Structure 1
């Protein structure tokens, strides 16, 4: 099971002196998010000028840049290697070595396992758990060895010879073996169930392995206590050195990491806004380009005579290429920002828990993170615009009915010319351009204001220096290529970013942009005679009949449907921009309030609240620390209203047991947790690790092999088993190959380390430090290989550290515990052999007796993901219904229906995202697993997972957009359109739940490997749009376009249509995987082809 990778940050730009709580991590965050202040089109300061070309960097700088080494990476590498260097150096003193005797090398190993490069909050949690587990391991070893000594005394005859009394005793060996197996089982079960115990569990494994494998040699309680004390002191010393290095050498607090990522998040938002502006400009070329179709005028070579419609094909291809390029750029920027948002969510937990001396309290950090998340959801919606546009174009190109009508003689006669179809295509293209171009024209200056607003926040929070302080003189108009009419960095009110009151300027700009776009759209619709935003044939059913309807009804239906979809795209873009601008305004207000209330003027000691500490401890115990669940929803306080909760908001039902009716049955319910625990996946994994370890560890407890086991240091092979054991076969092969590779390289490096300096102790220690820096460099740059790098570093330290230890103690002391002394040229191959054996055994017990493949886990996870998606669809639908009907209740009460629904929806989303990461990780290991039989359908699974992710994105946006209905109702007076629409809209019908039912069927089929039922009906559209027709369309006309929450209707409609489209794309791949119940048959004639 791979250990979690530490959060590592590097930087190429340091902003020293701007904020003592801000670290260079922000530059790494910027780069991780696809933003680099050196190359970004969004400058941090408005002082661009044409300067002389800089000289080419030296070869040293180019090499450093190619390796990705900068100040932060160098500091982390140095810091990681410093702790084992100190541990190695202090042990060279005889007085120190006399305390630890034969366990001096363990100080070096434990200092590596401390992972000093972690931020302070994560390090302290990791170290606290490690120290606690070390104390528990010490107690368990003392208990086990005491029981072993008593077993020896009770089975040794009185007056026995020293060879019998002090030699091998089977009872003592059996007792220690039982204690070892029990401890290995428990700690590895805990490691699998609680990921935060991953790294501390390695130290616990080493402690109990050494304690219990040497346990049979203990003949008295005094010798047992002496041995355990040396082992205990070695661990505590290594942990103490690691703690000192982490806290004193290049200290990195979790608050600094959070603020660095916050700065990177804001900078990435600037870049993403500009990418969105460029994409909107290219959106004009996203429509009306289809491949030639057979049996049509385009395919038969009939060219239009109107050159203004299609000038030439190369230009169209170039425009399409521009669109694809900008769409790819937008998607990559959005993905980087989403990853950064995930880091923020993880690190804010540690930032709030730290004791610090700084400006921001925990509540300020919590508020900052909440405001950032309010920006993240709508700004991430930008990436879905590319998907929506592609879906629309694909639907347009696949519209068989409309394309046939364009090429039909009847349509040509109706239009009065042979070129009617081409003119029709051209008119639609022009109509689409007339929608996009004004949007881009108004969007570009508005995004500049938003960009300056984010810069304003960065300056106020001291994440970047204030350029206005550095250059107090105003910029000369027209200088440096700037516009002579206005200053990009200055608002119309004379305010610069960093000036208090910039938020008021932003608020006015948002209102002005909103009003301008509303008037433009109203004018555009009035010129074309459109009234409703759902301008299709159903929305016009209350209008007088058209005498030409029978002639061209189908054509009008297709055209107006496309018109409605395109108009919804415009509303979609504008809603996202408006919501992002409101989110940025909230951040600006927050930053200005922090300046005005004096938060940023002085620093103070900050302590976590009692609630935060209590939540941390409970989360560690319950396993809910970073993995909240939905099983406890029904216990959120006593209800003060008479509310009937749905089944999904209640405790999960048990099909084998009715709810308990008395206290005895309730006690029985609690007792059933025990067998459920022993049947869980973590317990199965713990049992595998214990059995694999004891397959080699049994040698330490048998009469014929116990001396060989101790003398040849076989125990370190078991350590590698515990370190590198994986639950699935593909990751096991990957781990085996990487562990073997790094161990071989570490053995070679140990030889070089020892002989390159002529076996001189001082030179050996210096080169050991250099090699450790190399290990930590790869750990910083490639955290995915944490287990392999740790195996290599530990192997290197075991070889070199033991030889240095023998030099200090002498051979007699070094062999006192039964270990055989070897020169390094023999010790290194034996260490390599032990580690290699452990790696191979770990793999064998991963596939034996029953291999757990990535495909099996992926199929189960996909079924669970579809089931969670069904629940998420249902909860989101209910949320929209409740918010439209204003039935959420008092959201300040935990017992209100709205709060329960919101909590369940958030928990479902978090679990879904976690499953998505797990499935993609398993997909990446599919190529490493052994495959017998046909190939694994990796492409089909990838398609399904991608569509699930698309649905999750749209549902999250629907839930976010429906919040505007709540805000709209708080307006005074409440919007009339919303009240009337909510009254005329019926309750959600059974038709609305078809999507949920279908997803549950798909989940059951995938999870159980059973075929789908026949005649499966896939919902084709959302129930919201189905209810907007007839006279109800009068409530949603363009006249209400500027009303609060009005555009959210079109956003929800478009997102729901995209959900329905993605659902169609899921059903067919699932049917291909599991089949369908179908007993029909078809008799094929000998001359008939299948």
Structure 2
């Protein structure tokens, strides 16, 4: 079957796959025809993408039935139902086949283990992920069987060696301290090793959990095995239970509603593109509402020195303007929400493309095609997700203007004392700004329309959505009755619609028209207002675009202030233009790719697709190295190829230095260097987690190896407490209390549901199995809807399985065989509480938390250090591209490629750390607090500012690609070459920012105060120190030169980034303080006086 055509029909709306809203995705089929109905560029965009008939029909929608409303309220969708069915079938099949004695006899009294394993193998995973986990799980299960058998054999030999020759049979087969000690040692070694591996290699989590369960059961009962025959039989039956459970899960995964990783990837690609359409429309609505923002209201009310007067003036504003401000705030919220949805889908795409490329399939697009498609989607992601930063920039400008107005009116300037002149200038400024915004919106509207159609064009060509019927108004009948639409399109008579073969050419022409139109309009607008030289005029002054600390000598007249504001707004306009133009160019690349796949016949027929050997090799290597993405190794960059010139690499591009060891001088020292990996590993965070799990397990498991308690341990099935410890403990400790409460609640629910399951059908086996399936579907419904409760839900499901599975097992194999391992039989009303206490005891011991605050503090310190690295890498990247020093990017060892790889790795680590910190911060409310409150708001502000800086640095990196791209066209490099020659190296202040971030990181991680007088540098523009005397190259006449707009984007992003660094310094100082030996004397003669050892007052230090 074709695994990539029309996944929408199989998955429903995008929320089925991603659990996130995707604008326009639900009504994709209905809107396909309406998207192409407009044949003129001047037709306004309908934000909801509906035709007039659809709008009329929507005006009086029929009220859905009660069942439909309940169905929607519960969140049922095809994907959720699939999750429920596939999750419930394996345990139901396992418990059903066990009811036949000929099957049950092969598992002794371990049949319920088969049911548990059929759940933990997770058959609901897409095929690629499932097969990877299954392959590793099978290897580790068989290895676990060998380890258990070896440990039990040693225990048996120790038992024989320490048992007297004249011992009775009961004494020989009873408790033996030597055998117990050996099994305990093997338990400790295996639990520590597998959980250390689990923490170091998150991709091995599922196989590691199953391996842990195997060795726990094996070594628990291994201490009482007295002969080799009994040991072999026990391990064989345990192995059969595991393999049968895995086999049942595999059959369900492969045969029942099979879901390939490619289908998931294509469905997420559809969701990403549809969400991008929604984001573009949200951006257009934001631009339209921008004229109603406070940023556009340049006539800021005169700010009085009295805050009460200022508040009174604010309250007296026009009500209509206030309502428009509310509408503007809603547009901002919509824009940010749409951007967050796109970013969420991009993260899923990044994870799933790895498995989609490895999968064997029968479809259209091959492995290389999927890789190229993902690359093109990622090219769209960078500029389109940056559109939401415009709202943040607008907010910063608004605050900047308020501060400017206050400081300006405090100065003794003639203009400030002339109220009429000031009001007139403000009014003119406001009018001009609103006029510019309206023209910008008018220019954006047709481009967003054609981009929306371009994305739909891609979806149609790749077979991801059905093609809409061509409007009858666009078809001209020939005399012979044939349609002449395509001929008319070729002749330019009609506008192409999505799906037409020449739509890509039309899109290209529209993009070029937009660029030319904006260039001409911007130049005309500035020349008409005498602002044509504002860029290079402000570049030669110290009061450049966005000064974080206004200089008093910079504001000598209102005219100068107006020019600076004009520069700021023009930069913002160029910022928005550049991002939209970049989205358009990236969309055009995607359109060309889709048209190429149609032209070369790729989309014409299905074919067998096999992964390349290189991909499989990278996958195996990634599992070993801990990089499951199969990406290149970027740590080994301390040597260069011989066919390029020698280049000195910075320390960040070399192997990290060790302050305790010099580089090896000979082969022996090089070999000894590898031996140091062992103590390094034992001191790693992964080993610490393995030690925590081992301590938690043995704190309960020790009872099994002591003479006084081993019988109680076996009889009460306390081994399942150990199992819940293995499942419940997680390398990340951000939700310990939350998970503890959730696990206990779900365990109690599991016991209650087992009672209901057993008695509601009067204990009849067929009815019990039917209701068992329904309860399993219930558990998996919550797992699909609320994945963050997954561990708790598994705890409840296992409690349910242990009760029902054991009771049905006794019915099949009989009481004698069920108690063969020393476990007495309990009726269900006694068994359920015992099982509950066993599971609850395990989840309680699994709590063992690390203080959430300390984890968050250390992670934030690490994040700031990564931010310093990313900032330094970004600065170097911009310098390389401006100076044309990247080298040949096709060579993996070129300076540009090495820096790019390192930068990408740091960015991925930073994004993962930011997500982890947000989760930890969200769970802080659940942590018991002793003493003062945790400064949650301060940490939240720092995390938000770090995220903002990361966003702006990514924008800078992306914009700087324009310099490299422009050099590919020899005819367009003249201006760029002049700019590169006039630009100096990275300024000293850039390096000061890296130093500052490193100091902030060290202070947070070590809980040490900041150095004295530490502050963020005042705003500096790369125009100040980055351009030499020839600043005329920044004149507005060069606005259409390749790279000019990109430089404006870099300036805007750089200013916002410096502003965020200053905010981080302020908040970190609140957390850790600073080295300050000043003292204050408060007396009647003075409110406060301050003396400092450094000779500076606090006020001076703050300034």
Correspondence for 1:593:
596
Alpha-carbon spacing, 1:134–1:492, altered in 2? closer, same or farther (3 Å): farther
Q: 2:251 aligns with which of 244, 257, 265?
A: 244
Q: 1:193 aligns with which of 193, 196, 200?
A: 200
Correspondence for 2:622:
619
Deviation at 1:295, TM superposition (A): 4.0
Asked if residue 701 in structure 1 is aligned to residue 705 in structure 2, the reply is yes
Is the 1:536–1:564 contact (alpha carbons within 8 Å) kept by the matching residues of 2? Answer: no
Asked if residue 764 in structure 1 is aligned to residue 774 in structure 2, the reply is no
Correspondence for 1:102:
109
Is the 1:533–1:1050 contact (alpha carbons within 8 Å) kept by the matching residues of 2? Answer: no
Alpha-carbon spacing, 1:607–1:16, altered in 2? closer, same or farther (3 Å): closer
Unpaired runs of at least 5, structure 1:
1-14, 305-309, 478-486, 543-548
Asked if residue 35 in structure 1 is aligned to residue 40 in structure 2, the reply is no
Correspondence for 1:480:
none
Deviation at 1:493, TM superposition (A): 4.3
Correspondence for 1:916:
914
Deviation at 1:388, TM superposition (A): 0.4
Q: Distance in 2 between matches of 1:192 and 1:760?
A: 44
Deviation at 1:211, TM superposition (A): 0.8
Correspondence for 1:1076:
1074
Is the 1:532–1:1033 contact (alpha carbons within 8 Å) kept by the matching residues of 2? Answer: no
Correspondence for 2:941:
943
Correspondence for 2:549:
none
Q: Distance in 2 between matches of 1:442 and 1:892?
A: 38
Correspondence for 1:969:
967
Q: TM-score, normalised by structure 1?
A: 0.92
Deviation at 1:436, TM superposition (A): 0.7
Give the alignment of 1:636-785 within 5 angstroms: 638=641, 640-726=644-730, 731-785=735-789
Q: Distance in 1 between matches of 2:610 and 2:328?
A: 51
Correspondence for 2:851:
853
Q: 2:11 aligns with which of 14, 24, 47?
A: 24
Q: Distance in 2 between matches of 1:22 and 1:614?
A: 35
Alpha-carbon spacing, 1:503–1:139, altered in 2? closer, same or farther (3 Å): same
Is the 2:303–2:405 contact (alpha carbons within 8 Å) kept by the matching residues of 1? Answer: no
Alpha-carbon spacing, 1:340–1:1055, altered in 2? closer, same or farther (3 Å): same
Q: Distance in 2 between matches of 1:312 and 1:21?
A: 49
Is the 1:799–1:824 contact (alpha carbons within 8 Å) kept by the matching residues of 2? Answer: yes
Give the alignment of 1:428-447 within 5 angstroms: 428-447=429-448
Give the alignment of 1:875-890 within 5 angstroms: 875-890=873-888
Q: Distance in 2 between matches of 1:556 and 1:980?
A: 31
Alpha-carbon spacing, 1:311–1:1043, altered in 2? closer, same or farther (3 Å): farther
855-864 vs 1016-1025, which moves further? 1016-1025
Correspondence for 1:7:
none
Correspondence for 1:363:
368
Correspondence for 2:954:
956
Deviation at 1:535, TM superposition (A): 5.2
Q: Secondary structure at the match of 1:347?
A: helix
Q: TM-score, normalised by structure 2?
A: 0.91
Deviation at 1:33, TM superposition (A): 4.0
Q: Distance in 2 between matches of 1:33 and 1:533?
A: 43
Correspondence for 1:813:
817
Alpha-carbon spacing, 1:818–1:1076, altered in 2? closer, same or farther (3 Å): same
Deviations 1:1034-1056 (A, max 9, x none): 11222222222210010001110
Q: Distance in 2 between matches of 1:840 and 1:27?
A: 38
Q: 1:65 aligns with which of 60, 72, 75?
A: 72
Q: Distance in 2 between matches of 1:116 and 1:464?
A: 28
Deviation at 1:702, TM superposition (A): 1.8
985-994 vs 187-196, which moves further? 985-994
Is the 1:279–1:327 contact (alpha carbons within 8 Å) kept by the matching residues of 2? Answer: yes
Correspondence for 2:394:
389
Q: Distance in 2 between matches of 1:17 and 1:133?
A: 33
Deviation at 1:728, TM superposition (A): 6.8
Asked if residue 144 in structure 1 is aligned to residue 151 in structure 2, the reply is yes
Q: Distance in 2 between matches of 1:277 and 1:902?
A: 32
Deviation at 1:249, TM superposition (A): 0.3
Q: 2:894 aligns with which of 880, 893, 896?
A: 896
Deviation at 1:177, TM superposition (A): 1.1
Give the alignment of 1:113-512 within 5 angstroms: 113-286=120-293, 287=295, 288=297, 290=300, 293-295=303-305, 299=309, 313-400=318-405, 403-404=408-409, 410-411=414-415, 418-468=419-469, 474=474, 493-512=494-513
Asked if residue 573 in structure 1 is aligned to residue 576 in structure 2, the reply is yes
Q: Secondary structure at the match of 1:100?
A: coil
Alpha-carbon spacing, 1:760–1:977, altered in 2? closer, same or farther (3 Å): same
Correspondence for 2:796:
792
Is the 1:729–1:930 contact (alpha carbons within 8 Å) kept by the matching residues of 2? Answer: no
Q: Distance in 2 between matches of 1:216 and 1:989?
A: 69
Alpha-carbon spacing, 1:33–1:57, altered in 2? closer, same or farther (3 Å): closer
Q: Distance in 1 between matches of 2:29 and 2:403?
A: 38
Deviations 1:160-213 (A, max 9, x none): 321222222211111111111111111111111111122222211211111111
Deviation at 1:238, TM superposition (A): 0.3
Deviation at 1:974, TM superposition (A): 3.2
Deviation at 1:92, TM superposition (A): 0.6
Deviations 1:332-367 (A, max 9, x none): 100111011111111100100111111111100000
Alpha-carbon spacing, 1:467–1:729, altered in 2? closer, same or farther (3 Å): closer
Q: Distance in 1 between matches of 2:630 and 2:918?
A: 18
Deviation at 1:774, TM superposition (A): 0.2
Deviations 1:978-1002 (A, max 9, x none): 1111111112232321111111111
Deviation at 1:1028, TM superposition (A): 6.4
Q: What is the root-mean-square deviation in Å for CA atoms of aligned residues?
A: 2.8
Alpha-carbon spacing, 1:117–1:1011, altered in 2? closer, same or farther (3 Å): same
Q: Distance in 1 between matches of 2:74 and 2:24?
A: 17
Q: Distance in 2 between matches of 1:216 and 1:840?
A: 26
Correspondence for 2:1099:
none
Give the alignment of 1:998-1037 within 5 angstroms: 998-1027=996-1025, 1031-1037=1029-1035
Asked if residue 1066 in structure 1 is aligned to residue 1064 in structure 2, the reply is yes
Alpha-carbon spacing, 1:32–1:291, altered in 2? closer, same or farther (3 Å): farther
Correspondence for 2:834:
830
Deviation at 1:627, TM superposition (A): 9.6
Alpha-carbon spacing, 1:401–1:35, altered in 2? closer, same or farther (3 Å): closer
Deviation at 1:820, TM superposition (A): 0.6
Is the 2:704–2:713 contact (alpha carbons within 8 Å) kept by the matching residues of 1? Answer: yes
Q: Secondary structure at the match of 1:419?
A: helix
Is the 1:412–1:419 contact (alpha carbons within 8 Å) kept by the matching residues of 2? Answer: no
Is the 1:630–1:908 contact (alpha carbons within 8 Å) kept by the matching residues of 2? Answer: no
Deviation at 1:628, TM superposition (A): 6.9
Is the 1:869–1:912 contact (alpha carbons within 8 Å) kept by the matching residues of 2? Answer: yes
Q: Distance in 2 between matches of 1:933 and 1:114?
A: 44
Alpha-carbon spacing, 1:511–1:503, altered in 2? closer, same or farther (3 Å): same
Correspondence for 2:1101:
none
Deviation at 1:638, TM superposition (A): 3.0
Q: Distance in 1 between matches of 2:400 and 2:958?
A: 27
Q: Distance in 1 between matches of 2:769 and 2:1046?
A: 66
Aligned residues: 1044
Q: Distance in 2 between matches of 1:510 and 1:679?
A: 56
Q: Secondary structure at the match of 1:613?
A: helix
Alpha-carbon spacing, 1:631–1:683, altered in 2? closer, same or farther (3 Å): farther
Deviation at 1:558, TM superposition (A): 2.3
